[in-house]
Amino acid sequence: MSEFTAPLLSAEQLSVSVDHRMLCERLDWHVMPGQFWCVLGRNGIGKTTLLHTLAGLNRPAGGRVLIRDNDIQDIKPQQLARLRGLLAQQQADAFSSSVLSAVIAGRHPYQFGFGWDREDDRAQALQALQQVKMAGFSEHDVLRLSGGERQRVALATLLTQDPLLLMLDEPTAHQDAAAQIVVMELLSRLPGNKAVIAACHDINLVARYASHVLLLGDGQTWQGSVDKVLQPKLLQAAFGCPFEVVENGRRRLFMPVAETSSVSA
């Protein structure tokens, strides 16, 4: 990472609100190449809204978002699609399509006019399907996939899009335990010129795979390395319940406990 000095994404005094309710206020934050950031917080705290604002889908209530030092609102759509890609929490398919066709759609930011898909586009899509363990589904209809399978196809589409900054809303949602590991391993091993921002809910998956955490609480945020932010007192402040830490070899497991239970120091 030493060769990269400028942030891929910066939030400068960023404020985010919904229906006049302030979710995040005056956030200063930098995402560097090679980092895997997970956004944590209780349900309804604003993880998805923040992610959509960072992706340029929502205008901030204040401040601004920069990608490579350029205001995201000033970047042309095709160029923006090459810089950042967004995986939504759920996929809505309006019509039948093969899995391979859905994944090849990720190459649209690199195509011009009305030309046919190139052979290297197809090869890149097939490689992405292999990465998410869906290579055997290339000719299946997306309408016949399970929720978890469809989400992994969407992740393959994002990989085929090949942006520098990958933004994902609950990438392990609808996934079984094995698929969750596939997804998180893949995101943690992307090339060092890329960065990942993922809104997550599983603290222990975050502890295992992320490099950094942005923790959202009511009216405050905490940010930094996983070891710095994943602390019982901070988690309790964000989630509203005590946590105890269970040491499991080289890993720490964070367990929510009832208020009446004893909590380890």
Q: Which amino acid is at 222?
A: W
Kindly report which listed range (127-141, 166-180, 199-213, 248-262) carries the lowest average pLDDT score: 248-262
Backbone torsions φ then ψ of 142, nearest 5 degrees: -60, -25
Tokens of 215: 């923790």
Say whether pLDDT at 94 is over 50. yes
Please list, in sequence order, all residues whose beta carbon lies within 8 angstroms of the beta carbon of residue 207, skipping any fewer than 6 positions away.
226, 230, 251, 252, 253, 254
Residue 1's pLDDT is 36
Kindly report which listed range (2-6, 110-114, 182-186) carries the lowest average pLDDT score: 2-6
In angstroms, the Cα distances linking 213 to 106, 171, 179, 231 are: 28, 15, 22, 11
Rounded percentage of the chain residues whose pLDDT exceeds 90: 83
CATH 3.40.50.300 fits 9-230, yes or no: yes
Say whether pLDDT at 113 is over 70. no
Say whether pLDDT at 251 is over 90. no
Helix and strand numbers, DSSP H then E, in the chain: 9, 12
Whole-model pTM: value is 0.92
Q: Which of 49, 44, 40, 53 is nearest to 198 (CA)?
A: 40
Burial of 172 (0-12, 13-18, 19+ CB in 10 A): buried
For the chain, what are the domain ranges? 9-230, 237-265
Nearest-angstrom CA–CA distance, 70 and 141: 39
Per residue in 151-203, pLDDT (tens digit) is 999 999 999 999 999 999 999 989 999 999 999 999 999 999 999 999 999 99
Say whether pLDDT at 264 is over 50. no
Nearest-angstrom CA–CA distance, 204 and 219: 24
* CB-side neighbour CA atoms (13 Å) of 206: 27
- The mean pLDDT value for 109-116 works out to 72
Burial of 20 (0-12, 13-18, 19+ CB in 10 A): exposed
Residue 115's pLDDT is 56
Say whether pLDDT at 263 is over 80. no
Do residues 184 and 173 touch, judged by C-beta distance below 8 A?
no
Say whether pLDDT at 34 is over 80. yes
Please list, in sequence order, all residues whose beta carbon lies within 8 angstroms of the beta carbon of residue 20, skipping any fewer than 6 positions away.
none
Greater pLDDT, 252 or 264: 252
Tokens of 225: 């390395």
- The mean pLDDT value for 9-34 works out to 94
Kindly report which listed range (111-115, 130-134, 143-147, 220-224) carries the lowest average pLDDT score: 111-115
Say whether pLDDT at 62 is over 50. yes
